[in-house]
Chain A
Amino acid sequence: MDDLAMMERTVANTAVETDTKSPKISARDVQVYYGDNHAIKDVNVDIQDHTVTAFIGPSGCGKSTFLRCINRMNDTIDVARMEGTILIDGHDIYARDVDPVQLRARVGMVFQKPNPFPKSIYDNVAYGPRIHGLARNKAELDEIVEKSLRRGAIWDEVKDRLHAPGTGLSGGQQQRLCIARAVATEPEILLMDEPCSALDPIATELIENLISELRRNFAVIIVTHSMQQAARVSQKTAYFHLGNLVEYDDTDKIFTNPQDPRTENYITGRIG
């Protein structure tokens, strides 16, 4: 009963948002099943461009699963099944004529654990542009690599050793390299799945500053376990609980005046 009431309120909230600006991503009645497990239930959400949106919630609440729906990474899991629609700029990304590979070039992703390719730093960043044919020659590719590494705030640290292996960098540097790699294909949306959970506080701070920077060019969605991080970096926050999107609002509002008791319990540390 409570859930239903909550859902109406959320939809009402998003409706308010759409009035001001047309959303970058809008999800409607999204359901995800892992075999018999109903992992995501009736999620409706509108996500703005040039905004950092944080997904928070306890483990197993479906926030990562929903994130992976946005670039169709769930397609690679045999047992996963998705219903509902997700629109990016008004286009249904699950439409028959959409190639998930093309989609993923537009929706970049950064993973929980830094996962650079065991190749040189240069090749790590250049791989995406190469396979998508974004550079016509070596000079253009060099330019893209430099621009991406600058956007990833790692250029100054690696510019002298672009051909050293990416796996030789520290954890925080690796993660920034992965961000640089993700932005190299000129995506419009950047998905980040707990990008700082494997990093120390100093590296985390660097990444968080970077995320605030990235907002200028991309719509950033970040899944995080840390409420403080969500409060620090995001403008909008969505709270997931047991597969439901419980509450979605401005970050300030979520943390100071949560509407749903479950959200309140979570952010005050009573559950989670």
Chain B
Amino acid sequence: MTDAAHPITGITGSDAAQARLKRRHRAEFRLRAYGIAALLFAGLSLVVLLSSVVLNASTALRETYVTLPVEITAEVVDPDGLHDPDLIRRADFNRLTRNALRSRFPIATGRTERRALNELLSVGASFELAEQVAADTSLVGQVVPVRMLAADTLDLYIKGAFGGLEKKSTDGTLSAEIDGDSAVLTSTADDFAALLTQARRSLRAEAAALRHQANLQNNGVEEFARRAEAAEDEAARNRALKQVEARTVKRDGLLAEADAALVRADSTRGSEPLGEDNASALIRAGGGWFKVTEVGRDTVSADVLVAPDGPIADWSLLINEQSEADRKLSDTQIVWIEELRTAGQLETVFNTRFFTASDSREPELAGIWGAVVGSFWTMLVTFALAFPIGVLSAIYLEEFAPKNRLTALIEVNINNLAAVPSIIFGLLGLAVFLGVFGVPRSAPLAGGIVLALMTLPTIIIAARASIRAVPPSIRDAALGVGASKVQASFHHVLPLAMPGILTGTILGMAQALGETAPLIMIGMVAFIVDTPTGITDSATVLPVQVFRWSDFPEQAFEARTAAAICVLLAFLVVMNGLAVFLRKRFERRW
């Protein structure tokens, strides 16, 4: 009242207090900044991780089909004319699909070439054809267009793997001298100069390697010369001299080769063979395909892959930067695929097979359904065991158990159990359930029991926490109107604790769904083609499927692994979402 300035200085304080205040504000600002930075980093990492997985997985969602006219030869399929679907199903449809390919590409005559041609189709193609014919026996003896599943390599090529062909600009007009399987192609311009330079670039590396070899030989020469000088008798001296002579010849030979390679590398004239380690060059001319084997500035020697049927002058040079040795698809196969593509005989569709098929060694046939069903049965067993046992244990411990040393010990051990590495549970399952009780190996029953053990502590801890969170006034109210302790627990406490219990249970189940280690111990890593129909069938589960596929050498499994991870993540997101929903929906206020 008397001095208005006084309270203001009282609020702002002295200079020292001001400085302290500023320091505190800065410290608080820094802490907030660190927090936000950490969150941003975590969020960014998550986005990067998820997008890389999803991007990887997206290629697995499409599959490629080859449509070819197939002659369903009666002699092969139904030699006795019985029209019995069961017999037809067992016929050699492989031969039919192969014949179809062979008549599409008659140029493939050699054994290796035919095998390369057959590799374009999945082994599943003939089974599917068999099913198709068995279902409609009137097809026997006819030529019908059949949509056949392509092999994983073809599929991958269509999706952009194995380099892909890049068209180079050309200036000249091409002329060809074709002699059976080989040809010499000449352009009026230096259209192959770039290719020649590229081929020669590797010569330098070759020369350096040769020089290194020569150097090693030279070391030998020097060593044996020293030995010859130090030799004590004639025979030893002669032996050493002989070595010196032989190694000198070898060394000089290597040096000469290296020099020759260097000369060739520097020259701009002449021609170079285009080996397997170089980029592949294909020439498409007049409807035919040539594979370049030797390259000069304006002329190349080439193998004829598909004979031309039009004017050679209409041509293009196609380069695949990935060398043939580095990919699983040969140049010839690429040409066939390109031919099929131009003829409109390739078709890429949504891969429903991935969601409906079970595991397979062939990536194009492999699907996730078996693992999903296996996971379902396993989770069912886990839930059926862990939920009632967990909730009843929690109720007993919270509401009925006397508080003494024994219950304290049990409590400590339940908490410890939650921290036990999951593979230990797998060992326990192997020793006790499989070993002593004879539960079938690899079955969801065994897996479910083991995962139930693993999930129990989570459920008990969550259930106890939410039972404890029910206010004691509710118990008093129930006891006050003459309810027994059991009635109070089951009529009032348990329903009120249920949302919390369910949340904990779902989170525990989600953890179990993603668990691999204990299942490895009880044999759930086996290769199982059949979709399990019960809890005692052999089965695999989603995370194990991911683990197995990531281990397969086929490149096509990469995308499928990523897709399987996406499916697993989707399940986990749904389960966690359900937990959040339950918590929000049934949240009670007192």
Listed in ascending order, the chain A residues whose CB lies under 8 Å from chain B are 71, 73, 76, 78, 101-105, 108-111, 113, 115-118, 127-128, 131-132, 167, 178, 181-182, 184-185
Are B590 and A132 in contact, CB atoms less than 8 angstroms apart?
Answer: no
Least distance between A178 CB and chain B CB atoms (Å): 7
Known A-B contacts: A111-B476, A132-B482. Give 4 more (CB < 8 A).
A71-B480, A76-B485, A105-B482, A117-B477
Which chain B residues in 464-484 approach chain A with CB under 8 Å? 471, 473-484
Are B474 and A101 in contact, CB atoms less than 8 angstroms apart?
Answer: no
Least distance between B482 CB and chain A CB atoms (Å): 3
Most buried by B among A116, A131, A167: A131
Judged by a CB distance under 8 angstroms, whether B6 is at the interface is: no
Closest to A99 in B: B484
22 cross-chain CB contacts under 8 A: A73-B479, A73-B480, A101-B484, A104-B480, A104-B481, A104-B482, A105-B482, A108-B480, A108-B481, A109-B476, A111-B477, A111-B480, A115-B473, A117-B474, A117-B477, A117-B492, A118-B588, A127-B481, A127-B483, A128-B481, A178-B477, A182-B480
Most buried by B among A101, A108, A178, A181: A101
Judged by a CB distance under 8 angstroms, whether B267 is at the interface is: no
Q: How far is the CA of A102 from the CA of B484 in the complex (A)?
A: 9
Least distance between A270 CB and chain B CB atoms (Å): 34
Are A131 and B482 in contact, CB atoms less than 8 angstroms apart?
Answer: yes
Q: How far is the CA of A178 from the CA of B588 in the complex (A)?
A: 19
Q: Which listed residue (A110, A115, A184) contacts B474, Cβ 8 A?
A: A115
Are B491 and A127 in contact, CB atoms less than 8 angstroms apart?
Answer: yes
Q: How far is the CA of A132 from the CA of B477 in the complex (A)?
A: 15
Which chain B residues in 210-232 approach chain A with CB under 8 Å? none
Judged by a CB distance under 8 angstroms, whether B111 is at the interface is: no
Are A118 and B476 in contact, CB atoms less than 8 angstroms apart?
Answer: no
Q: What 1/0 mask marks residues of chain B from 491 to 502 whose CB sits below 8 Å from any chain A CB?
A: 110001000000
Are A113 and B473 in contact, CB atoms less than 8 angstroms apart?
Answer: yes
Least distance between A130 CB and chain B CB atoms (Å): 9
Least distance between A184 CB and chain B CB atoms (Å): 7
Judged by a CB distance under 8 angstroms, whether B589 is at the interface is: yes
Are B482 and A111 in contact, CB atoms less than 8 angstroms apart?
Answer: no
Q: How far is the CA of A101 from the CA of B488 in the complex (A)?
A: 11
Answer whether A116 and B477 are a contact pair too, CB < 8 Å, given A131-B487, A167-B589: yes
Judged by a CB distance under 8 angstroms, whether B172 is at the interface is: no
Q: How far is the CA of A101 from the CA of B481 in the complex (A)?
A: 8
Tell me how many residue pairs across A and B have CB atoms closer than 8 Å: 67
B270: chain A residues at CB < 8 Å are none
Answer whether A131 and B483 are a contact pair too, CB < 8 Å, given A73-B476, A111-B476: yes
Are B403 and A78 in contact, CB atoms less than 8 angstroms apart?
Answer: yes
B388: chain A residues at CB < 8 Å are none
Q: How far is the CA of A178 from the CA of B474 in the complex (A)?
A: 11
Q: How far is the CA of A57 from the CA of B192 in the complex (A)?
A: 111
Which applies to chain B's interface (DSSP): helix, strand, loop or mixed?
helix
Are A128 and B482 in contact, CB atoms less than 8 angstroms apart?
Answer: yes
Which chain B residues in 438-488 approach chain A with CB under 8 Å? 471, 473-485, 487
A101: chain B residues at CB < 8 Å are 482-484
Are B479 and A76 in contact, CB atoms less than 8 angstroms apart?
Answer: yes
A118: chain B residues at CB < 8 Å are 474, 496, 588, 590
Least distance between A1 CB and chain B CB atoms (Å): 39
Are B481 and A184 in contact, CB atoms less than 8 angstroms apart?
Answer: yes
Judged by a CB distance under 8 angstroms, whether B402 is at the interface is: yes
B481: chain A residues at CB < 8 Å are 104-105, 108, 127-128, 131, 181-182, 184-185
Answer whether A102 and B482 are a contact pair too, CB < 8 Å, given A118-B590, A127-B491, A167-B590: yes
A128: chain B residues at CB < 8 Å are 481-483
B491: chain A residues at CB < 8 Å are 127, 131
Q: How far is the CA of A102 from the CA of B485 in the complex (A)?
A: 12
A178: chain B residues at CB < 8 Å are 477
Q: How far is the CA of A108 from the CA of B487 in the complex (A)?
A: 17
A102: chain B residues at CB < 8 Å are 482
Q: How far is the CA of A208 from the CA of B16 in the complex (A)?
A: 60
Q: How far is the CA of A128 from the CA of B492 in the complex (A)?
A: 12
Least distance between A170 CB and chain B CB atoms (Å): 15
Closest to A72 in B: B479
Closest to B476 in A: A111
A111: chain B residues at CB < 8 Å are 473, 476-477, 480
B589: chain A residues at CB < 8 Å are 167
Q: How far is the CA of A132 from the CA of B481 in the complex (A)?
A: 9
Q: How far is the CA of A272 from the CA of B485 in the complex (A)?
A: 36
Least distance between A51 CB and chain B CB atoms (Å): 21
Most buried by A among B403, B482, B487, B590: B482
Most buried by B among A111, A113, A127: A127
Are A104 and B474 in contact, CB atoms less than 8 angstroms apart?
Answer: no
Least distance between B489 CB and chain A CB atoms (Å): 12
Q: How far is the CA of A78 from the CA of B403 in the complex (A)?
A: 8
Q: How far is the CA of A110 from the CA of B473 in the complex (A)?
A: 11
Closest to B589 in A: A167
Q: How far is the CA of A237 from the CA of B40 in the complex (A)?
A: 68
